[in-house]
Amino acid sequence: MTKKRVLITGGAGFLGSHLCDRFLAERCHVIAMDNLITGSLENIEHLFHREDFEFYHHDVSKFVHVSGDLDYILHFASPASPIDYLKIPIQTLKVGSLGTHNLLGLAKAKGARMLIASTSEVYGDPLVHPQTEEYWGNVNPVGPRGVYDEAKRFQEAMTMAYHTYHGLETRIVRIFNTFGPRMRLDDGRVLPAFIGQALRGEDLTAFGDGSQTRSFCYVDDLIEGIYRLLMSDCVDPVNIGNPDEITINQFAEEIIKLTGSQSKIIYKPLPKDDPMQRQPNITKAKEVLGWEPKYSRNEGLKPTLEYFQNKVK
C-alpha cells in the first residue's frame, strides 16, 4: 500500500513538530516546511535520518511547490505568541493570509484535504463564556493582537470559500491555549515565562491583577483532536482545548508549588486587549469526534517541566 503523503507547514514549530511525529507514527510520508523564524530544527532533529521524512526550508507566504502527490496539508505555520506577533506583525498577517491562499491553491492542484490551524483568538476578548463555535467574537482589528486575530479570521473565510466555491475538502480547528515539551522558553507565553522564572529563582510576572483566566490543554490531547478532525467529515470549525479554567494567579501558584521554588508573584501592566476570560465549549468535539482531553493539567505539567529543566540548565 502506498503511504499517504502529508505536508505540515510550521513543521519545526511546537505543534507542527508533534504533528510530524504523529503522522509518521500513522505510517505517512511527512514533508515538513518551515522558514525557521519561530520554529527550530531542534524540534525535528530526531526525524532527519528517516526516509519517510523530508524538510523544506521555505516561507509559505511565497509560492509553494511540492513535487509528487499530497493527500493532506496541515497549515500550522504562524507566529503564535503575543510577543512574537508583536515583533513580526507583517509576517504574521502574511502567513495567515497569503500563506493560506498559496496552500489552498496547492491543495486544490493536488486534490489534497486541507486542515488549517485557527485559534481561540478569533473570539477576541469574548463576551460569551465558555466560547462555542457559533460565537462570532469580539476582536479589535487595529489593536496589537489584530494582526494575528484578523489573519486567522481571514484564513477561516478563505478556507471556507475554497470549500464552497471549489469543493475542496477542508477542516478548521480552533486551538485553545496548549502546552507541552518543545514550547519555546522565550516565546513570552505565560507557561514558559512562569516555568523559566521559577526555575531561575526569579519572581513570576503576572500581568494585570492576575484574575484573567485561561484553560490549558496538554499537547498530546490536542494532537489527537486534530488527527480525529482531519479524518472526520466535519467542515465547520471545531474547538479543541481543555475546559479546565484557572486564573493566572492560580496558575502562578501551581507553578511555584510544582517547581518547589521560593519565587513570589509580582504584577506588571496588563497588555492591551488581553482577553479577560477564555474557556472552550467542547460539546461539538465530543459529539462529532468522540474527543475529549485525557490529561489533567498536572499530568501534562510533569513532562513539560522536565523538558524546561533541561533547557534552563
Query: Active-site residue numbers?
Result: 148
Distance from C-alpha of 151 to C-alpha of 77, rounded to nearest angstrom: 12
Q: Which of 159, 177, 277, 304 binds ligand UDP (CB under 6 A)?
A: 177
Q: Which of 9, 35, 38, 81 binds ligand UDP (CB under 6 A)?
A: 81
Paired sense of beta strands 53-57 and 213-215, if any: unpaired
* Beta carbon nearer to ligand UDP, 210 or 225: 210
Nearest distance from C-beta of residue 86 to ligand UDP, angstroms: 11
Nearest distance from C-beta of residue 194 to ligand UDP, angstroms: 7
**Quick one: which segment of 33-41, 183-191, 220-228, 298-306 binds ligand UDP (CB under 6 A)?**
183-191
* Beta carbon nearer to ligand UDP, 17 or 119: 119
Distance from C-alpha of 191 to C-alpha of 95, rounded to nearest angstrom: 25
**Quick one: which segment of 62-70, 204-212, 220-228, 303-311 binds ligand UDP (CB under 6 A)?**
204-212
Nearest to 248 by CA among 305, 176, 193: 193
- Residue 190 interacts with ligand UDP (CB under 6 A)? yes
Q: Cβ(206)–Cβ(249) under 8 Å? A: yes
Nearest distance from C-beta of residue 42 to ligand UDP, angstroms: 21
- Residue 199 interacts with ligand UDP (CB under 6 A)? no
**Burial track 110-146 (b if 16+ CB lie within 10 A, e otherwise):** bebbbbbbbbbbbbbbbeeebbebebebebeeeebbb
* Residues with Cβ within 8 Å of residue 166, at least 6 apart in sequence: 108
Instruction: List the beta strands (DSSP E) in 88-200.
Output: 113-119, 170-175, 178-179
- Residue 206 interacts with ligand UDP (CB under 6 A)? yes
Which residues here bind ligand UDP, judged by CB under 6 A? Answer: 81-82, 177, 188-190, 193, 205-207, 212, 214, 248, 271, 274
